[in-house]
Chain A
Amino acid sequence: MMHRPSFLPLVRARSRQLAAVAAFALCAGGAPVAAQPINATVATGLIVDEALIAAAIQNLEFGSMSPGGSKLVSAKDAQTCTDGCMSGKWRFQNLSKKGSDRRANLQFTALPDSLTGPGGAKLGVAYNARACVYNRATNLSVGCVTQGSTTQGSTLVVPINKVPGSFGDTSPPMSRDMYLWIGGTASPRPGQRAGDYTGVITVFFFYTN
């Protein structure tokens, strides 16, 4: 019973195909009087989402610090960037345009637990991160997600959908932008070698449908 409804149309389709073949054979056998064009209109289509636009727009800058002290740079959102905007920052646009079951995922694939300085000296760093989603039309925050500190070897994932305080599955379609900030605490040891210390933090962004 389950297959019967779909079986019958197949039979009908095959019958039509045989009839068409028979008609073609008759035409081929006789002398054609004039061309007889036959047009068929076929509907097709596909959905092209707006292209994802993602950019790293600000480096994480701890500034100057004395040996033996520590310095905290908080992962701040745009409205509370009171520390001179020293946190690292990324922007992602055209997320979840369809507002369906799509999830946007972020991973820090490179999150070094130390920055490298002169002579290979290491400066220990721990991180904090925060992500906020904005309605682009109003530039208002839809919600934020805060992650705890993490160190190298662990993976920080910020699943934007389905996170309380962010935005849910049933939200109406809208153009959303997401910002991701990363801050941290740098802790130079007593006598820490003076100089500039650097490292690279990499965010890997991907969709799952």
Chain B
Amino acid sequence: MGRPIILALLLGVALPVAGRAQSLPVNAHATVTSSVSIARLADLSFGAVALVPGVPATVSPANGGMARVDYNEPTTVTAPAFLMLGGPAGALLRVDLVCASHATATATAPVTFPAGCAGGFATPISGNVGGTHYVYIGGTLAAAASNAALAGSYAGSFSVTVTYVVY
């Protein structure tokens, strides 16, 4: 009889109270908005000297038009593969574009877009911040295109486009 009584008393004293510790996680979240811009710095010019019909003319990207891209996320920069310049009496003259990029605005040998202007170029980004890249645009006037062209002044425009995810 004595042993059960002693056991009961011990139970009464030693039964543990429920656990009293807990870990509780919450999530913290923030969104940094997109900040991407593009600005034209220079036009693509074949110069003031008149071109000779049937003779090809080329302006290298380093000596052509230029646009500046500021970004804080990966962007894709594209331009058309060619454009048609408008001339006298509605004449058209095809110019094929050549695009290149560099991190500085004074590169003498910017890196040509791997898949042409229409294929685009992905701005590089690493670490916590974005950056700035420059797009160089040159042009080529084929001999065949200029051979039959009417004499006169030709002009046109094209867009350089940046594509990115909006946050």
Chain A residues near B (Cβ < 8 Å): 38, 40, 42, 44-49, 51-52, 54-56, 58-67, 71, 88-90, 109-110, 112, 115, 117-119, 121-123, 125, 182, 184, 186, 188-207
B107 within 8 A of A: no
List of B residues within 8 angstroms of A194 by Cβ: 32-35, 72-73, 130, 165, 167
B28 close to A (CB within 8 Å): yes
What 1/0 flags go to B27-57 for Cβ under 8 Å of A? 1111111110000000000000000000000
Q: Which residues of B contact A66 (CB under 8 A)?
A: 32-33, 35
Query: Closest approach, in angstroms, between the C-beta of B63 and any C-beta of chain A?
Result: 30
Chain B binding surface SS class? mixed
Instruction: From A48, A90, A197, give the contact of B24 (CB < 8 A).
Output: A90
Asked if B115 is at the interface (CB within 8 A of a chain A CB), the reply is no
Taking the nearest CB of chain B, how far is it from the CB of A196, in angstroms?
5
Contact residues of A: prevailing secondary structure: strand
Inter-chain contact B32/A197, CB cutoff 8 Å? yes
Q: How far is the CA of A132 from the CA of B35 in the complex (A)?
A: 40
| Residues A38 and B1 in contact in the complex (CB < 8 Å), given A46-B12, A54-B24, A195-B167 | yes
Interfacial chain A residues near B131, Cβ < 8 Å: 191
Residues from chain B with a CB closer than 8 A to the CB of A201 are: 25-28
| A193-B128 contact, Cβ under 8 Å, with A60-B29, A115-B29 | yes
Asked whether A202 lies within 8 Å of B27 as measured between CB atoms, the reply is no
Instruction: Give the interface residue-count category, chain B.
Output: 35 or more
Contact of B30 among A38, A58, A90, A115 (CB under 8 A): A115
Residues of chain B lying within 8 A (CB to CB) of residue A193:
32, 72-73, 125, 127-130
Q: Is B15 an interface residue (CB 8 A)?
A: yes
B18 touches A195 (CB 8 A): no
Chain A residues near B34: list those with CB within 8 A. 194
Closest residue on chain B to residue A45 by CB atoms: B12
B89: Cβ under 8 A from any A Cβ: no
Which B residues touch A198, using CB under 8 A? Answer: 27-30
Identity of the chain A residue whose Cβ is nearest the Cβ of B34 in the assembled complex: A194
Interface assignment of B148: CB less than 8 Å from any CB of chain A: no
Contact of A205 with B24 at beta-carbon distance under 8 Å, contacts A44-B12, A45-B12 already known: yes
Chain B residue contacts of A190, Cβ below 8 A: 129
Chain A residues within an 8 Å CB radius of B5:
40, 42
The smallest C-beta distance from B160 to any residue of chain A, in angstroms, reads 20
